[in-house]
Amino acid sequence: MSEKIVSFFSGAGGLSLGFALADLKPVLGVDINDDAYSTYKSNLGIPCHNLDLNASDKCSLIDLLSPYKEVFAVIGGPPCQGFSTAGSRNELDSRNQLIFNYFAIVEYLKPKWFLFENVEGLLTSNSGKSVFELVRRFISLGYLLRLEKVNFAAYGLPQSRKRAIVIGNRIGAFFHFPPETHSFNAGKHNKLLPLFPHSPTLDEAISGLPEAVSYECFLPYTHAETSSEYEHFIRQSNNSGGVKHHFSTPSANELERYSLLEPGQTMKDLTESLWHPSFRKRAFRRVKDGTATEKRGGAPAGIKRLYSHLCSPTITSASSREFIHPSLDRALTLRECARLQSFSDRYVFSGNTSSIAIQIGNAFPPLVAMRFAQHLMQIEAKVGSGLISLKEWEAQLIGYRLTDASGMSPALMHTESLLKSLMFNLG
Protein backbone atom coordinates (compact mmCIF):
# COMPACT_ATOMS: atom_id res chain seq x y z
CA MET A 1 0.00 0.00 0.00
CA SER A 2 1.36 3.47 -0.90
CA GLU A 3 -0.24 5.38 1.97
CA LYS A 4 2.36 7.23 4.04
CA ILE A 5 2.62 6.64 7.78
CA VAL A 6 4.79 8.74 10.09
CA SER A 7 5.66 7.74 13.66
CA PHE A 8 6.51 10.04 16.57
CA PHE A 9 7.70 9.12 20.06
CA SER A 10 8.65 5.94 18.20
CA GLY A 11 10.64 4.21 20.95
CA ALA A 12 12.06 0.86 19.92
CA GLY A 13 9.55 0.64 17.08
CA GLY A 14 6.77 -1.65 18.31
CA LEU A 15 3.99 0.42 16.77
CA SER A 16 5.92 0.90 13.53
CA LEU A 17 6.76 -2.81 13.30
CA GLY A 18 3.09 -3.71 13.67
CA PHE A 19 2.07 -1.29 10.92
CA ALA A 20 4.85 -2.65 8.72
CA LEU A 21 3.51 -6.19 9.26
CA ALA A 22 0.18 -4.91 7.91
CA ASP A 23 1.88 -3.50 4.78
CA LEU A 24 1.70 0.05 6.14
CA LYS A 25 5.40 0.53 6.78
CA PRO A 26 6.11 4.03 8.15
CA VAL A 27 8.36 6.36 6.19
CA LEU A 28 9.62 8.24 9.25
CA GLY A 29 10.31 7.67 12.94
CA VAL A 30 11.32 10.16 15.63
CA ASP A 31 12.53 9.57 19.19
CA ILE A 32 14.71 11.37 21.71
CA ASN A 33 16.34 8.28 23.26
CA ASP A 34 19.69 7.36 21.67
CA ASP A 35 19.34 3.62 22.22
CA ALA A 36 15.71 3.47 21.07
CA TYR A 37 16.67 5.48 17.99
CA SER A 38 19.45 2.99 17.24
CA THR A 39 17.14 0.00 17.81
CA TYR A 40 14.51 1.50 15.49
CA LYS A 41 16.93 2.19 12.66
CA SER A 42 18.79 -1.11 12.79
CA ASN A 43 15.68 -3.32 12.93
CA LEU A 44 13.19 -1.50 10.74
CA GLY A 45 15.32 0.15 8.07
CA ILE A 46 13.13 3.24 8.30
CA PRO A 47 14.60 6.78 8.36
CA CYS A 48 14.62 7.79 12.01
CA HIS A 49 15.56 11.09 13.63
CA ASN A 50 17.05 11.46 17.09
CA LEU A 51 15.09 14.54 18.12
CA ASP A 52 13.55 16.09 21.24
CA LEU A 53 9.91 16.75 20.37
CA ASN A 54 9.61 18.98 23.42
CA ALA A 55 12.51 21.21 22.39
CA SER A 56 12.19 24.95 21.97
CA ASP A 57 13.79 24.81 18.48
CA LYS A 58 10.60 24.54 16.44
CA CYS A 59 12.27 25.48 13.14
CA SER A 60 14.16 22.21 12.83
CA LEU A 61 10.98 20.30 13.63
CA ILE A 62 9.00 22.16 10.98
CA ASP A 63 11.74 21.47 8.43
CA LEU A 64 11.47 17.78 9.30
CA LEU A 65 7.67 17.67 9.16
CA SER A 66 6.95 19.80 6.09
CA PRO A 67 7.32 16.97 3.51
CA TYR A 68 4.68 14.91 5.33
CA LYS A 69 1.65 17.17 5.31
CA GLU A 70 -1.69 15.37 4.86
CA VAL A 71 -0.15 11.90 5.13
CA PHE A 72 -2.39 8.89 5.62
CA ALA A 73 -1.69 8.52 9.35
CA VAL A 74 0.30 9.83 12.29
CA ILE A 75 0.95 7.21 14.96
CA GLY A 76 2.64 7.44 18.34
CA GLY A 77 2.63 7.06 22.08
CA PRO A 78 4.14 10.00 23.99
CA PRO A 79 6.03 9.05 27.20
CA CYS A 80 3.54 8.12 29.87
CA GLN A 81 5.46 8.11 33.15
CA GLY A 82 3.70 11.22 34.39
CA PHE A 83 0.32 9.46 34.15
CA SER A 84 1.33 5.90 35.00
CA THR A 85 -0.16 4.14 38.02
CA ALA A 86 3.22 2.40 38.32
CA GLY A 87 4.81 5.78 39.02
CA SER A 88 4.10 8.75 41.24
CA ARG A 89 1.34 10.18 38.99
CA ASN A 90 2.71 13.70 39.33
CA GLU A 91 0.27 15.97 37.53
CA LEU A 92 3.02 18.61 37.15
CA ASP A 93 5.43 16.19 35.48
CA SER A 94 6.85 17.98 32.43
CA ARG A 95 6.47 14.80 30.37
CA ASN A 96 2.69 15.23 30.59
CA GLN A 97 3.03 18.13 28.14
CA LEU A 98 4.19 15.70 25.47
CA ILE A 99 0.64 14.57 24.78
CA PHE A 100 -0.04 18.10 23.58
CA ASN A 101 3.18 18.07 21.53
CA TYR A 102 1.66 15.07 19.76
CA PHE A 103 -1.49 17.13 19.16
CA ALA A 104 0.64 19.96 17.70
CA ILE A 105 2.18 17.52 15.21
CA VAL A 106 -1.29 16.35 14.13
CA GLU A 107 -2.40 19.98 13.90
CA TYR A 108 0.50 20.80 11.58
CA LEU A 109 0.42 17.67 9.40
CA LYS A 110 -3.37 17.24 9.18
CA PRO A 111 -3.24 13.48 8.51
CA LYS A 112 -6.32 11.57 7.36
CA TRP A 113 -5.97 9.38 10.46
CA PHE A 114 -4.11 9.45 13.75
CA LEU A 115 -3.56 6.84 16.45
CA PHE A 116 -2.56 7.97 19.93
CA GLU A 117 -1.65 5.60 22.77
CA ASN A 118 -1.01 6.18 26.46
CA VAL A 119 -1.38 4.50 29.84
CA GLU A 120 -4.82 4.08 31.37
CA GLY A 121 -3.86 6.58 34.09
CA LEU A 122 -4.30 9.35 31.52
CA LEU A 123 -8.07 8.82 31.78
CA THR A 124 -8.22 10.10 35.36
CA SER A 125 -5.15 12.34 35.49
CA ASN A 126 -5.87 15.92 36.55
CA SER A 127 -9.45 14.89 37.36
CA GLY A 128 -10.02 13.85 33.75
CA LYS A 129 -9.13 17.30 32.43
CA SER A 130 -6.00 16.16 30.57
CA VAL A 131 -7.75 13.65 28.34
CA PHE A 132 -10.79 15.91 27.96
CA GLU A 133 -8.62 18.78 26.76
CA LEU A 134 -6.69 16.54 24.37
CA VAL A 135 -9.92 15.17 22.84
CA ARG A 136 -11.43 18.65 22.66
CA ARG A 137 -8.41 19.92 20.75
CA PHE A 138 -8.53 17.06 18.25
CA ILE A 139 -12.19 17.87 17.63
CA SER A 140 -11.27 21.51 17.05
CA LEU A 141 -9.10 20.31 14.13
CA GLY A 142 -12.10 18.67 12.50
CA TYR A 143 -11.65 15.04 13.56
CA LEU A 144 -14.19 12.34 14.31
CA LEU A 145 -12.66 10.24 17.05
CA ARG A 146 -13.08 7.41 19.51
CA LEU A 147 -11.43 6.96 22.89
CA GLU A 148 -11.25 3.54 24.50
CA LYS A 149 -9.43 1.76 27.26
CA VAL A 150 -8.29 -1.50 25.72
CA ASN A 151 -6.74 -4.61 27.21
CA PHE A 152 -4.37 -5.83 24.52
CA ALA A 153 -4.82 -9.43 25.68
CA ALA A 154 -8.21 -9.27 23.94
CA TYR A 155 -6.31 -9.12 20.63
CA GLY A 156 -4.18 -12.19 21.26
CA LEU A 157 -1.31 -10.73 23.28
CA PRO A 158 -0.06 -13.13 26.01
CA GLN A 159 -0.13 -10.27 28.50
CA SER A 160 -2.73 -8.23 30.34
CA ARG A 161 -1.87 -4.72 29.19
CA LYS A 162 -4.44 -1.95 29.54
CA ARG A 163 -3.93 1.22 27.53
CA ALA A 164 -5.91 4.30 26.50
CA ILE A 165 -6.21 4.61 22.71
CA VAL A 166 -7.55 7.57 20.74
CA ILE A 167 -8.13 7.14 17.02
CA GLY A 168 -9.45 9.89 14.77
CA ASN A 169 -10.07 10.69 11.12
CA ARG A 170 -10.98 13.81 9.19
CA ILE A 171 -12.59 12.08 6.20
CA GLY A 172 -15.98 11.72 7.87
CA ALA A 173 -15.86 7.99 8.52
CA PHE A 174 -17.89 6.89 11.54
CA PHE A 175 -16.00 3.84 12.76
CA HIS A 176 -15.43 1.39 15.60
CA PHE A 177 -12.27 -0.08 17.07
CA PRO A 178 -11.28 -3.50 15.73
CA PRO A 179 -13.44 -6.24 17.27
CA GLU A 180 -11.80 -8.20 20.07
CA THR A 181 -10.61 -11.63 18.98
CA HIS A 182 -9.62 -13.50 22.15
CA SER A 183 -10.66 -14.45 25.64
CA PHE A 184 -7.91 -14.11 28.22
CA ASN A 185 -7.10 -15.02 31.79
CA ALA A 186 -4.36 -13.18 33.62
CA GLY A 187 -5.67 -13.94 37.09
CA LYS A 188 -6.78 -10.58 38.43
CA HIS A 189 -7.71 -9.42 34.93
CA ASN A 190 -9.69 -11.79 32.77
CA LYS A 191 -12.36 -11.79 30.10
CA LEU A 192 -13.80 -15.16 29.20
CA LEU A 193 -15.95 -15.09 26.09
CA PRO A 194 -17.69 -18.22 24.71
CA LEU A 195 -16.34 -19.50 21.39
CA PHE A 196 -13.39 -17.10 21.46
CA PRO A 197 -9.89 -18.62 21.42
CA HIS A 198 -7.75 -17.90 24.47
CA SER A 199 -4.78 -15.57 24.29
CA PRO A 200 -1.50 -17.49 24.63
CA THR A 201 -0.37 -18.30 28.14
CA LEU A 202 3.01 -17.23 29.43
CA ASP A 203 4.29 -20.76 28.92
CA GLU A 204 3.15 -20.78 25.29
CA ALA A 205 4.65 -17.34 24.67
CA ILE A 206 8.16 -18.24 25.82
CA SER A 207 8.22 -21.86 24.65
CA GLY A 208 10.93 -23.01 22.26
CA LEU A 209 13.62 -20.70 23.61
CA PRO A 210 17.00 -22.27 24.41
CA GLU A 211 18.12 -22.48 28.02
CA ALA A 212 19.11 -19.06 29.36
CA VAL A 213 22.78 -18.42 30.14
CA SER A 214 24.54 -16.02 32.50
CA TYR A 215 25.86 -13.53 29.92
CA GLU A 216 24.79 -11.82 26.72
CA CYS A 217 25.47 -13.90 23.61
CA PHE A 218 23.77 -15.44 20.59
CA LEU A 219 21.96 -18.67 21.47
CA PRO A 220 20.80 -21.04 18.69
CA TYR A 221 17.39 -22.67 18.89
CA THR A 222 17.49 -26.26 20.10
CA HIS A 223 14.45 -27.23 17.99
CA ALA A 224 13.61 -26.18 14.46
CA GLU A 225 9.89 -26.84 14.94
CA THR A 226 7.50 -24.43 16.64
CA SER A 227 4.95 -25.68 19.14
CA SER A 228 2.21 -23.05 18.83
CA GLU A 229 0.75 -20.47 16.47
CA TYR A 230 2.16 -17.70 18.64
CA GLU A 231 5.69 -19.13 18.61
CA HIS A 232 5.42 -19.44 14.83
CA PHE A 233 4.46 -15.76 14.62
CA ILE A 234 7.44 -14.77 16.79
CA ARG A 235 9.95 -16.90 14.91
CA GLN A 236 8.73 -16.72 11.32
CA SER A 237 10.91 -13.79 10.21
CA ASN A 238 13.98 -14.78 12.23
CA ASN A 239 16.57 -16.12 9.79
CA SER A 240 19.40 -16.13 12.33
CA GLY A 241 18.41 -19.47 13.84
CA GLY A 242 18.52 -18.21 17.41
CA VAL A 243 18.16 -15.30 19.81
CA LYS A 244 20.03 -12.66 21.77
CA HIS A 245 19.11 -11.01 25.11
CA HIS A 246 18.37 -14.37 26.75
CA PHE A 247 20.45 -14.32 29.92
CA SER A 248 19.94 -14.10 33.68
CA THR A 249 22.42 -13.55 36.50
CA PRO A 250 20.66 -13.95 39.87
CA SER A 251 22.76 -13.37 42.97
CA ALA A 252 22.92 -15.83 45.88
CA ASN A 253 20.40 -13.71 47.84
CA GLU A 254 18.06 -13.60 44.88
CA LEU A 255 18.29 -17.34 44.37
CA GLU A 256 17.28 -17.85 47.99
CA ARG A 257 14.23 -15.61 47.58
CA TYR A 258 13.20 -17.19 44.29
CA SER A 259 13.50 -20.74 45.62
CA LEU A 260 10.97 -20.00 48.37
CA LEU A 261 8.26 -18.57 46.13
CA GLU A 262 5.40 -20.59 44.68
CA PRO A 263 3.53 -19.34 41.59
CA GLY A 264 1.44 -16.31 42.50
CA GLN A 265 3.48 -15.48 45.59
CA THR A 266 5.30 -12.17 46.01
CA MET A 267 7.88 -10.57 48.25
CA LYS A 268 5.32 -10.18 51.05
CA ASP A 269 5.07 -13.98 51.26
CA LEU A 270 8.73 -14.17 52.34
CA THR A 271 10.03 -13.57 55.83
CA GLU A 272 10.79 -9.91 56.43
CA SER A 273 14.51 -10.61 56.68
CA LEU A 274 14.48 -11.46 52.95
CA TRP A 275 12.67 -8.32 51.81
CA HIS A 276 14.47 -5.84 49.58
CA PRO A 277 15.15 -2.54 51.43
CA SER A 278 13.16 -0.72 48.73
CA PHE A 279 10.24 -3.10 49.21
CA ARG A 280 10.29 -2.57 52.98
CA LYS A 281 10.18 1.19 52.44
CA ARG A 282 7.22 0.97 50.04
CA ALA A 283 5.37 -1.59 52.14
CA PHE A 284 5.27 0.67 55.18
CA ARG A 285 5.15 4.05 53.50
CA ARG A 286 1.36 4.40 53.67
CA VAL A 287 1.43 3.83 57.41
CA LYS A 288 4.21 6.36 57.94
CA ASP A 289 3.12 9.29 55.80
CA GLY A 290 -0.44 8.58 54.71
CA THR A 291 0.48 8.44 51.03
CA ALA A 292 -2.34 6.79 49.07
CA THR A 293 -1.59 3.60 47.16
CA GLU A 294 -1.97 5.21 43.74
CA LYS A 295 0.53 7.94 44.69
CA ARG A 296 3.31 5.76 46.08
CA GLY A 297 4.19 3.80 42.97
CA GLY A 298 1.58 1.08 42.77
CA ALA A 299 1.13 -2.06 44.83
CA PRO A 300 4.48 -3.00 46.39
CA ALA A 301 4.81 -6.59 45.12
CA GLY A 302 8.61 -6.40 44.91
CA ILE A 303 9.05 -9.72 43.10
CA LYS A 304 6.44 -12.19 41.93
CA ARG A 305 6.62 -15.75 40.62
CA LEU A 306 4.33 -15.99 37.62
CA TYR A 307 1.83 -18.67 36.61
CA SER A 308 2.70 -20.65 33.50
CA HIS A 309 -0.95 -21.31 32.58
CA LEU A 310 -2.08 -17.65 32.65
CA CYS A 311 -1.31 -14.61 30.56
CA SER A 312 1.50 -12.49 31.92
CA PRO A 313 0.87 -9.35 33.97
CA THR A 314 1.82 -6.06 32.30
CA ILE A 315 5.41 -6.00 31.11
CA THR A 316 7.22 -2.90 32.39
CA SER A 317 10.83 -1.76 32.52
CA ALA A 318 11.12 -3.63 35.85
CA SER A 319 9.76 -6.97 34.64
CA SER A 320 13.18 -8.53 33.98
CA ARG A 321 14.01 -7.86 37.64
CA GLU A 322 10.67 -8.47 39.36
CA PHE A 323 8.85 -11.20 37.40
CA ILE A 324 10.14 -14.66 38.31
CA HIS A 325 9.95 -17.56 35.88
CA PRO A 326 7.10 -19.97 36.73
CA SER A 327 9.40 -22.95 37.38
CA LEU A 328 13.02 -21.76 37.24
CA ASP A 329 14.76 -19.77 39.96
CA ARG A 330 15.50 -16.70 37.90
CA ALA A 331 13.76 -13.58 36.65
CA LEU A 332 12.39 -13.39 33.14
CA THR A 333 15.04 -12.64 30.56
CA LEU A 334 14.89 -9.63 28.29
CA ARG A 335 14.06 -11.93 25.39
CA GLU A 336 11.17 -13.47 27.30
CA CYS A 337 9.84 -9.98 28.06
CA ALA A 338 10.22 -9.07 24.37
CA ARG A 339 8.24 -12.19 23.41
CA LEU A 340 5.47 -11.27 25.84
CA GLN A 341 5.39 -7.91 24.07
CA SER A 342 5.17 -9.81 20.72
CA PHE A 343 8.52 -8.63 19.33
CA SER A 344 10.01 -10.99 16.77
CA ASP A 345 12.96 -13.09 17.90
CA ARG A 346 14.97 -11.40 15.16
CA TYR A 347 14.64 -8.04 16.92
CA VAL A 348 17.93 -6.97 18.52
CA PHE A 349 17.84 -4.06 20.97
CA SER A 350 20.62 -1.48 21.39
CA GLY A 351 22.01 -0.34 24.74
CA ASN A 352 22.76 -1.82 28.14
CA THR A 353 20.46 -4.13 30.08
CA SER A 354 18.61 -1.30 31.81
CA SER A 355 18.07 0.60 28.56
CA ILE A 356 16.76 -2.48 26.76
CA ALA A 357 14.36 -3.24 29.62
CA ILE A 358 12.96 0.29 29.33
CA GLN A 359 12.60 0.03 25.55
CA ILE A 360 10.73 -3.27 25.82
CA GLY A 361 8.53 -2.15 28.72
CA ASN A 362 7.53 1.11 27.02
CA ALA A 363 6.75 -0.43 23.63
CA PHE A 364 3.42 -0.77 21.87
CA PRO A 365 3.08 -4.52 21.18
CA PRO A 366 3.65 -5.13 17.43
CA LEU A 367 0.98 -7.85 17.25
CA VAL A 368 -1.71 -5.46 18.47
CA ALA A 369 -0.39 -2.63 16.30
CA MET A 370 -0.76 -4.93 13.30
CA ARG A 371 -4.40 -5.64 14.23
CA PHE A 372 -5.18 -1.90 14.44
CA ALA A 373 -3.36 -1.16 11.17
CA GLN A 374 -5.29 -3.90 9.37
CA HIS A 375 -8.53 -2.46 10.74
CA LEU A 376 -7.74 1.04 9.42
CA MET A 377 -7.08 -0.48 6.00
CA GLN A 378 -10.43 -2.28 6.13
CA ILE A 379 -12.22 0.97 6.98
CA GLU A 380 -10.47 2.73 4.10
CA ALA A 381 -11.44 -0.08 1.72
CA LYS A 382 -15.08 0.17 2.79
CA VAL A 383 -15.03 3.94 2.30
CA GLY A 384 -13.53 3.49 -1.16
CA SER A 385 -16.13 0.91 -2.15
CA GLY A 386 -19.05 2.90 -0.77
CA LEU A 387 -19.83 0.45 2.03
CA ILE A 388 -19.21 3.31 4.47
CA SER A 389 -20.96 6.45 3.28
CA LEU A 390 -19.49 9.81 4.21
CA LYS A 391 -22.60 11.77 5.14
CA GLU A 392 -22.69 15.30 6.39
CA TRP A 393 -20.93 15.30 9.73
CA GLU A 394 -19.59 17.52 12.43
CA ALA A 395 -16.31 16.92 14.23
CA GLN A 396 -16.98 15.24 17.55
CA LEU A 397 -16.27 12.37 19.90
CA ILE A 398 -18.32 9.54 18.38
CA GLY A 399 -17.79 7.07 21.20
CA TYR A 400 -15.79 6.12 24.26
CA ARG A 401 -15.20 3.17 26.56
CA LEU A 402 -13.54 3.88 29.89
CA THR A 403 -13.88 0.47 31.52
CA ASP A 404 -15.10 -3.08 30.98
CA ALA A 405 -16.17 -3.32 34.61
CA SER A 406 -19.84 -3.24 35.62
CA GLY A 407 -19.18 -0.25 37.85
CA MET A 408 -17.13 2.89 37.47
CA SER A 409 -14.87 4.65 39.98
CA PRO A 410 -15.75 8.22 41.01
CA ALA A 411 -12.68 9.42 39.09
CA LEU A 412 -13.82 7.72 35.88
CA MET A 413 -17.36 8.98 36.41
CA HIS A 414 -16.00 12.51 36.48
CA THR A 415 -14.03 11.90 33.28
CA GLU A 416 -17.16 10.50 31.65
CA SER A 417 -19.15 13.59 32.58
CA LEU A 418 -16.56 15.73 30.80
CA LEU A 419 -16.43 13.55 27.69
CA LYS A 420 -20.21 13.43 27.30
CA SER A 421 -20.19 17.15 26.53
CA LEU A 422 -18.14 16.40 23.40
CA MET A 423 -20.72 14.03 21.91
CA PHE A 424 -23.67 15.30 19.88
CA ASN A 425 -25.59 14.94 16.63
CA LEU A 426 -25.14 11.16 16.60
CA GLY A 427 -28.70 10.39 15.62
Angle at 80 between CA 78 and CA 82, to 5 degrees: 125
311 is catalytic: no
Angle at 298 between CA 125 and CA 282, to 5 degrees: 130
HEC profile for the chain?
CCCCEEEECCCCCHHHHHHHHCCCCCCEEEECCHHHHHHHHHHHCCCEEECCCCCCCHHHHHHHHHHHCCCCEEEECCCCCCCCCCCCCCCCCHHHHHHHHHHHHHHHHCCCEEEEEEEHHHHCHHHHHHHHHHHHHHHHCCCEEEEEEEEHHHHCCCECCEEEEEEEECCCCCCCCCCCCCEEECCCCEECCCCCCECCCHHHHHCCCCCCECCCCCEECCCCCCCCHHHHHHHCCCCCCEECCCECCCCHHHHHHHHHCCCCCEHHHCCHHHCCHHHHHHHHHHHHHCCCHHHCCCCCCCCEECCCCCCECCCCCCHHHHEECCCCCCECCHHHHHHHCCCCCCCCCCCCHHHHHHHHHHCCCHHHHHHHHHHHHHHHHHHHHCCCCCCCCCCEEEEEECCCCCCCCHHHHHHHHHHHCCCCCCC
48, 59, 80, 311: the active-site residue: 80
Question: Sign of the C-alpha dihedral, residues 84, 85, 88, 92?
Answer: positive
Cβ-in-10-Å burial (0-12, 13-18, 19+) of 390 comes to exposed
29 Rama sector, left if φ>0, alpha if ψ -120 to 50, beta otherwise: beta
- Residues catalogued as catalytic: 80
